[in-house]
Amino acid sequence: MSILNNNKKYEITLSAIAVNDKLNKDHKACGISFTNNKEIYLPLCGCGNMPVLHRRLLELLSNQKEAINVNINSFLKLANPDHQQTIVNSFFTIDDFLTNKYSLKTTKSKRIEHNFIIDAIKYANLIKIAKVITEAENLSKTLMVMPSNYLTVDEFERIVKNKFQGLKNIKFSVLHKSELTKKKMGLILAVGKASPKVNEPRIIVVEYNNTPSKKKIALVGKGIIFDTGGLHLKPGESMTGMHGDMSGAALTLASIYAMAKLNINANVVGVAALATNEISADAYRVNDVITSYSGKTVEILNTDAEGRLALADGIAYAKRDLKANTIMTVATLTGAICIALGETYTGIWTSNDALWSSVSEASILAGESLWRMPFHYEYQNAIVNNTKIADLANITSTRFAGSNTAAEFLHVFADGTNFIHADIAGSNEYHKEFIPILVKTMLYLTKNFK
């Protein structure tokens, strides 16, 4: 990306156009781009739906085979002032997603460097913030893409520790296997029982404290570095891409990195529950009953429902030890959410309407699409009543409402604390590429939390 204040570098230019503009009326387009004399126009219908705009920009720019000029000034001129930061964020983060890719290829492919036309003086602060968010998203994207033979649990810890080093108001700590054992965190230890030493389970804790307020949000991320399914071994096709099963951990920590770099006034803690779900003679088995950190017992009925186990101990730690009064989990948790919402929406569960309002408002500023999903006592009963020997089972007896019952499993461990759950199993991909979803939503949720 290059930034030239008002200079056109290439022949074709992408610009915004008002929906009531005569040129747009002549083409009878609303929200659908059209081309006219080497100009690509995107009509803005009120410029109010930021998630839709972000998606359309992603589609437009990803379909360009050659570099073009992008007249960001034209979008900002038509935008509500409250949405100007969102628009600049979208252009910068989309450009980074499309051009700044982690690769182990010996021959590097040519990068398409679009030319951003933006008043770099007038919008200097918007650009500064967008660059920080882009850096944070790139951190998470890189971790998500790295193969698991490169990104071990040890390496994940090393990378994020180095990234946070020297940042103000940050405390970085790790509960290694010995500490997990002392604390009797049985669930995450069970998931990682078959792992070699470089992949031993652990919980990374990143605390960001920058306000005297007693409000503290915990962002608990699923960090399964690779998921074979355990003894419930995944079929080959389903195992492809499971190096990205740690996306929740990468995204939550990346968002806190952005918070620290932007010096926002908030108290936030990131809890990354890391493990690998592998196979050996030591692997945890079906019908094992495991005691969680909360004290609740869980019967294992499927070893491929491991993410919720690691998260459950992370939730209990955030509540008991870190004294968080709001907990949000982010996880590639279920295939069921992909069937329900595809790649377009992130499924969101909240324990009350006020929390939904907060996270929904944050997603609009982030330009990210969320869909509210239901908590219901029948879903919880399906988990609790599916075992005769423990407090709850890790799956239900049917495949019905799989993402809802998984969310209710986590909800049990929040145990009355304000709770948000995000299932990103579909939305963390765009055309089979991992995308850094929710980094901005978590940033704005925390920044504006009431």
Q: What are phi and psi of 422, to 5 degrees?
A: -120, 120
* Active-site residue, 214 included: no
Query: How many other CB atoms sit within 10 Å of the CB of residue 445?
Result: 27
**Residue 360 half-sphere exposure toward CB, CA atoms < 13 A:** 12
User: Per the residue annotation, which of 202, 308, 319, 440 is the catalytic one?
Assistant: 308
Quick check: 57 and 89 in contact, CB under 8 A? no
* Active-site residue, 234 included: yes
Three-state DSSP state, 172: strand
User: Per the residue annotation, which of 234, 261, 296, 447 is the catalytic one?
Assistant: 234
251: closest CA among 48, 53, 445? 445
Q: Which residues contact 149 (CB under 8 A, 6 or more apart)?
A: none
Exposure string (b/e) for 86-105, b if CB count within 10 Å is 16 or more?
Answer: bbbbbbbbbbbbbeebeeee
358: closest CA among 217, 257, 220, 248? 217
Three-state DSSP state, 272: strand
Question: Distance between CA 81 and CA 97 in Å, rounded?
Answer: 25
What tokens were used for 146? Answer: 């790295």
Give catalytic residues, as residue numbers. Answer: 234, 308
